[in-house]
């Protein structure tokens, strides 16, 4: 990391005489402001540059936002040093340019690069240094890194250290850690954000702060309060966690004919109470299977997808005792290293080199819309069967529901420890996903989005209420939005804010009002400032 004090002084000298926050779209002034440094000019892309589209598209992870009709940013900047990032923020402030920070680009609603209002994107693609320290079991991770890169860098240095983060390796740490971040280690170690011990942040005044200089309120807010709200994170310091040399994985598929409904019903009672070393999630997909007459028959397959932080011999008795109905056999289980389990969950074939984790390209990118729910009470079998009915409609060829168990460590962490509030009492989280490939964008989008809204509406009686909680990293603009063109009131933001943050919403508003009163860092679902 470079010396930030020097940069800050320099920037102060350059800008101290200029006023901030003009309201018009002034991207040309913004570009001019950046250019005197001569350092950034080669990393400024406007639609005039031949590589603008490829720079923009490189991190688009939802094809819904890769169409000709999608509003495009006016400028994309890909700074190469912390000083340049600082300059981008100061120039944006000076010229009234609206900025969005982009890490891995996985935002479900594309908020890191799409808006109705004119934008400059600060893409952190060149900020990917990762420093793993096995002695004190920590790592500094620059915010443009992906979780796959972090996993890979850890595994280069240690076979018995890991980090609790998401399943898909292309996800960026910038947004992921800002919204919580969970994966297969959640029942043992909590979220990514629970394991952050320091950060380097550029605040709305362009200052570079660390945990000590930002203070505990702001440090609390950036660990789950959502990205693009409290500042631009340059880097995170994380605490690594212990993993055994060998872990055990399995995936058991059960169709409706193989009692999937009964097994899912039972899973709700046992999965949140398993020992914390055992994580079994369920992915439900529609499947066409041929019956004996060779006719295509519609059914569903529930994949019980699991990792156990131990050996097969330890796992089998636990399953026999708690969930014998699933019928897990020794031959269904595979022992492997933790990093291999990362690749297994990510869908890479066995034997793939860990290098695949360095790729920023998803195995398959499609159009999708998703939503989330939290479950406090097991859903009765009849309730589950109602979901399956919706799965057999025309729009839902590629529907998916993912059930992720809570419990374990998640029950022990206080719901106000960080802004992420979904702790004890939650049995599991549901993610609903619908994918589609149709080209006729608007019609297809409307048809599919309307299907997933119907599913969400059907689920109302079975899931959390007052508020109906949701996970911010599964961003869903259906649950409420800010007025991105004008002023957002506390009441307006509370509609969506209370779903993501519950009782932590007020403290987030308080911190935001203190650290970014002019609401410089904002998007359609960012915590508003009360001034």
Ligand X SMILES: *[C@@H]1O[C@H](CO)[C@@H](O)[C@H](O)[C@H]1NC(C)=O
Ligand Y SMILES: Cc1cc2nc3c(=O)[nH]c(=O)nc-3n(C[C@H](O)[C@H](O)[C@H](O)COP(=O)(O)OP(=O)(O)OC[C@H]3O[C@@H](n4cnc5c(N)ncnc54)[C@H](O)[C@@H]3O)c2cc1C
Task: Residue 104: count other Cβ atoms within 10 Å of its Cβ.
Answer: 28
Q: What angle do CA 426, 431, 432 make, to 5 degrees?
A: 140
SS3 at position 452: helix
Choosing from 17, 38, 212, 353, the residue that interacts with ligand X (CB under 6 A) is 38
**Among positions 158, 251, 314, 513, the unique one binding ligand X when judged by CB under 6 A:** 251
14 is an interface residue for ligand X by CB under 6 A: no
Least Å distance between CB 300 and ligand X? 9
Asked whether position 111 contacts ligand Y by CB under 6 A, the answer is: yes
Contact status, residue 132 vs residue 234, Cβ threshold 8 Å: no
Between residues 151 and 182, which has the closer beta carbon with respect to ligand Y? 182
Residues 45, 231, 111, 151: is their CA dihedral positive or negative?
positive
Q: Which is nearer to ligand Y, 179 or 480 (by Cβ)?
A: 179
User: Choosing among ligand Y, ligand X, none, which partner's interface includes residue 57 (Cβ < 5 to 8 Å by kind)?
Assistant: ligand X
* Number of other residues whose CB lies within 10 A of the CB of residue 257: 11
49 binds, among ligand X, ligand Y, none (CB under 5 to 8 A by kind): ligand X
For ligand Y, what does the binding mask look like between residues 171 and 200, x meaning CB under 6 A? xx-xxx-xx-xxx-----------------
Q: Select the binding partner of residue 365 from ligand Y, ligand X, none (C-beta < 5 to 8 A, by kind).
A: ligand X
Residue 518 binds ligand X (CB under 6 A) = no
The active-site residue out of 45, 152, 344, 474 is 474
Question: Whose CA is closest to 307, among 285, 270, 281?
Answer: 281
Task: List beta partners, residue 235.
Answer: 142, 200
Dist CA 59 CA 101 (whole Å): 12
CB of 364 to ligand X, least distance (A): 9
Contact call for residue 227 and ligand Y (CB under 6 A): yes
Q: Which range, of 35-43, 102-110, 240-248, 329-337, touches ligand Y by CB under 6 A?
A: 102-110
Q: How many helices (H) and strands (E) does the chain have?
A: 16, 18
Tokens of 43: 């990393």
For residues 517 and 204, give the distance between their C-alpha atoms in angstroms, rounded to a whole number.
Answer: 9
Distance in angstroms (rounded) separating the CA atoms of residues 476 and 489: 19
Q: In whole angstroms, how close is the CB of 521 to ligand Y at the nearest point?
A: 7
Which of 296, 355, 414, 439 binds ligand X (CB under 6 A)? It is: 296
Site for ligand Y in 351-380 (CB under 6 A): 362
- State the nearest-atom distance from the C-beta of 152 to ligand X, in Å: 22
Q: Which is nearer to ligand Y, 89 or 264 (CB)?
A: 89
Length of the chain: 531
Query: How distant is the alpha carbon of residue 355 from its chain centre?
Result: 22
50 exposure class (CB count in 10 Å sphere: 0-12, 13-18, 19+): exposed
Cα distances from 51 to residues 39, 58, 75, 191, 365, in angstroms, run 18, 11, 12, 37, 21
Pick from 78, 261, 473, 504 the residue near ligand Y by CB under 6 A.
473
Interface with ligand Y, residue 106, by CB under 6 A? yes
Report residue 41: phi and psi, to 5°.
Answer: -55, -35
Catalytic annotation present for 474: yes
Scan residues 511-530 and list those touching ligand Y (CB under 6 A). 523
Cα distances from 337 to residues 6, 135, 155, 304, 513, in angstroms, run 44, 20, 10, 20, 46
The position carrying tokens 């019609």 is 443
**Region binding ligand X by CB under 6 A among candidate stretches 34-42, 118-126, 182-190, 406-414:** 34-42
Q: Which is nearer to ligand Y, 168 or 410 (CB)?
A: 168
**Residue 501 exposed, middle or buried by CB count within 10 Å (0-12, 13-18, 19+):** buried
Contacts of 526 (CB under 8 A, 6+ apart): 226, 228, 229, 482, 519
Q: How far is the CB of 231 from ligand Y (least distance, A)?
A: 7
Provide, rounded to whole angstroms, the least separation between the CB of residue 139 and ligand X.
29
Write b or e for each residue in 202-236: b if 16 or more Cβ atoms lie within 10 A of its Cβ, otherwise e: bbbbbbbbbbeebeeebbbbbbbbbbbbbbbbbbb
Binding pattern for the stretch 253-282 against ligand X, x by CB under 6 A and - elsewhere: x----xx-----------------------
Q: Does 405 bind ligand Y (CB under 6 A)?
A: no
Rounded least distance, CB 114 to ligand X, Å: 13
Q: Least CB distance from residue 291 to ligand X, whole Å?
A: 12
* Closer residue to ligand Y, CB minimum distance, 328 or 509: 509
Total residues at interface with ligand Y (CB under 6 A)? 34
Q: Which does 250 bind (CB under 5 to 8 A by kind): ligand Y, ligand X, none?
A: none
505-515 and 490-501 helices cross at what angle (nearest 10)? 120
Interaction of residue 166 with ligand Y, rule CB under 6 A: yes
Q: Which range in 103-111, 300-308, 350-358, 432-440 contacts ligand Y by CB under 6 A?
A: 103-111
Do 84 and 43 touch, CB atoms closer than 8 A?
yes
Residues at the site binding ligand X, with contacts judged by CB under 6 A:
36-38, 41-42, 44-49, 57, 63, 66, 251, 253, 258-259, 285-288, 296, 301, 303, 365, 397
Residues at the site binding ligand Y, with contacts judged by CB under 6 A:
61, 100-108, 111-112, 124, 143, 166-168, 171-172, 174-176, 178-179, 181-183, 227-228, 232-233, 362, 473, 523
Which residues are annotated as catalytic? Answer: 474
């Amino acid at each position: 990391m470079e010396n930030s004090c020097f940069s800050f002084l320099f920037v102060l000298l350059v800008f101290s005489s200029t006023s901030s926050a003009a309201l018009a779209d002034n991207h040309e002034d913004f570009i001019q402001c950046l250019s005197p440094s001569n350092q950034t000019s080669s990393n400024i892309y406007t639609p005039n540059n031949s590589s603008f589209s490829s720079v923009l598209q490189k991190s688009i992870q939802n094809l819904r936002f890769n169409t000709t009709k999608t509003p495009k940013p006016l400028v994309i900047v890909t700074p190469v040093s912390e000083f340049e990032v600082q300059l981008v923020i100061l120039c944006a402030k000076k010229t009234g340019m609206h900025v969005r920070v982009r890490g891995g680009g996985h935002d479900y609603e594309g908020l890191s690069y799409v808006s109705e209002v004119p934008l400059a994107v600060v893409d952190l693609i060149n900020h990917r240094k990762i420093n793993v320290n096995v002695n004190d079991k920590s790592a500094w991770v620059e915010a443009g890194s992906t979780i796959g890169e972090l996993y890979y860098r850890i595994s280069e240095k240690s076979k018995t250290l890991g980090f609790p983060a998401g399943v898909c390796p292309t996800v960026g740490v910038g947004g992921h850690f800002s919204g919580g971040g969970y994966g297969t280690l959640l029942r043992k170690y909590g979220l990514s954000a629970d394991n952050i011990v320091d950060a380097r942040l550029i605040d709305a005044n362009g200052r570079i702060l660390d945990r000590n200089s930002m203070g505990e309120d702001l440090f609390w807010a950036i660990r789950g309060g959502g990205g693009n709200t409290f500042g631009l994170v340059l880097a995170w310091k994380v605490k690594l966690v212990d993993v055994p040399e060998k872990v055990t994985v399995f995936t058991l598929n059960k169709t409706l004919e193989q009692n999937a409904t009964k097994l899912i019903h039972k899973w709700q009672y046992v999965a949140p109470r398993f020992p914390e070393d055992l994580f079994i999630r369920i992915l439900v997909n529609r499947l066409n299977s041929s019956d004996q007459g060779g006719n295509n028959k519609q059914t569903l397959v529930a994949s019980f997808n699991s990792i156990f932080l131990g050996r097969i011999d330890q796992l089998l008795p636990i399953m026999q005792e708690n969930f014998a109905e699933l019928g897990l056999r020794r031959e269904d289980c595979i022992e492997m290293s933790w990093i291999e389990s990362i690749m297994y969950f990510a869908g890479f074939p066995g034997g793939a080199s860990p290098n695949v984790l360095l790729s920023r390209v998803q195995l398959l990118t499609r159009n999708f819309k998703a939503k989330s729910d939290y479950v406090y009470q097991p859903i009765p079998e009849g309730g589950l069967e109602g979901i399956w009915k919706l799965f057999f409609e025309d729009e839902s060829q590629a529907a998916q529901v993912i059930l992720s168990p809570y419990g374990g460590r998640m029950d022990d962490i206080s719901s106000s420890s960080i802004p992420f509030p979904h702790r004890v009492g939650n049995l599991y989280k549901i993610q609903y996903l619908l994918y589609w490939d149709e080209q006729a964008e608007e019609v297809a989008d409307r048809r599919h989005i309307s299907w997933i809204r119907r599913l969400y509406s059907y689920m109302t009686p079975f899931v959390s209420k007052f508020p109906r909680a949701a996970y911010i990293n599964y961003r869903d603009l259906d649950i409420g939005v800010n007025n991105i063109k004008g002023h957002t009131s506390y009441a307006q933001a509370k509609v969506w804010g209370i779903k993501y943050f519950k009782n932590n919403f007020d403290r987030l508003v308080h911190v935001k009002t203190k650290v970014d009163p002019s609401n410089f860092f904002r998007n359609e679902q960012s915590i508003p400032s009360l001034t």
